[in-house]
């Protein structure tokens, strides 16, 4: 391919030299030939960079057309290339950039690998070395978000003494609600119809955490009106619906307090005699 491009440049250059000696109307074609040469040179350089696995450098044209550095009007980030062997660092940066973009969009619609590349400051082709498709990248982002959500729920649970299992369950639900309200974009995508390994949606991880906490309540003598897993599903559906309604209403600064109060009322409904 490179040899054909070089032949094209030579042919275009020869044409420019000949046209320069023609009459005035014909000289207009000389400018066209010159532009063809410039385009061929640019394309040749770009193909060489891609073959070497290098990212396309920032140019004045990129700056004016929407691929400038962060802090400018265009939104592209300037990224320093990793040293050889630091591919995991690039993977982490891609995940971070994809997470920011997905959180801003709040939907998979409009989420593209090209957009992620702009967010991170790399060429789109660089993403394929770590993620084979957009769906694979989204799955990785959501897995990371679920890890964070579960981590926050466990941290909240740990703040309550083990002698109060109902209080620990309440803390988990509060942690879930706080995460969902602080990260509305991720929250909407996470609760979309998506299936992980084994054919189960990732939100079953949350149900599993709540089920274990409810079982601990039963072991401590609390009586559930439903089996533990069904009670966990009931609580999750209630908390999810409460958060969704709160976001739809765009309530004020007391939104969190209202949501947590309603979730506490839902919690009392799954216990017999509460």
pTM: 0.64
> What phi and psi, each to the nearest 5 degrees, are found at residue 82?
-70, 155
Q: In Å, what is the CA distance from 131 to each residue of 88, 134, 139?
A: 12, 7, 10
Which pLDDT band, with edges at 50, 70 and 90, does 153 fall under? very high
Identify which of 90, 58, 82, 91 has the alpha carbon closest to the alpha carbon of residue 72.
58
Instruction: State pLDDT tens for residues 211-246.
Output: 999 999 999 999 999 999 999 999 999 999 999 888
Instruction: State pLDDT tens for residues 54-82.
Output: 444 433 333 333 333 344 444 555 444 54
Report yes or no: 125 and 47 within 8 Å, Cβ to Cβ.
Answer: no
Question: Is 175's pLDDT higher than 60?
Answer: yes
Can you tell me whether residue 257 is helix, strand or coil?
helix
Q: What is the mean pLDDT of residues 147-167?
A: 96
Report yes or no: 173 and 214 within 8 Å, Cβ to Cβ.
Answer: no
Q: What is the mean pLDDT of residues 97-125?
A: 90
């Amino acid at each position: 391919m490179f040899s054909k491009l070089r032949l094209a440049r030579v042919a275009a250059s020869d044409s420019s030299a000949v046209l320069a000696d023609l009459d005035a109307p014909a000289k207009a074609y000389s400018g066209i030939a010159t532009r063809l040469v410039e385009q061929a040179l640019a394309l040749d350089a770009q193909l060489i960079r891609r073959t070497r696995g290098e990212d396309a450098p920032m140019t004045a044209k990129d700056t004016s057309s929407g691929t400038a550095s962060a802090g400018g009007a265009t939104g592209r980030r300037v990224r320093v290339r990793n040293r050889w062997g630091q591919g995991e660092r690039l993977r982490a940066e891609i995940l971070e950039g994809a997470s920011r973009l997905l959180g801003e969009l709040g939907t998979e619609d409009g989420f593209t690998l090209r957009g992620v590349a702009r967010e991170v400051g790399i060429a789109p082709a660089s993403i394929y070395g770590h993620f084979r498709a957009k769906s694979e990248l989204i799955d990785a982002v959501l897995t990371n978000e679920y890890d964070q959500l579960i981590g926050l729920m466990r941290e909240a649970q740990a703040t309550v003494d083990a002698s109060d299992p109902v209080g620990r369950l309440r803390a988990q639900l509060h942690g879930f609600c706080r995460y969902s309200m602080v990260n509305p974009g991720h929250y909407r995508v996470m609760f979309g119809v998506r299936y992980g390994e084994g054919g189960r949606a990732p939100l079953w991880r949350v149900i599993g955490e709540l089920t274990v906490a409810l079982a601990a309540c039963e072991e401590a003598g609390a009586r559930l009106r439903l089996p533990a897993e069904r009670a966990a599903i009931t609580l999750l559906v209630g908390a999810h619906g409460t958060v969704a309604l709160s976001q739809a209403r765009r309530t004020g600064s007391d939104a969190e307090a209202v949501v947590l109060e309603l979730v506490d009322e839902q919690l009392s409904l799954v216990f017999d005699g509460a």
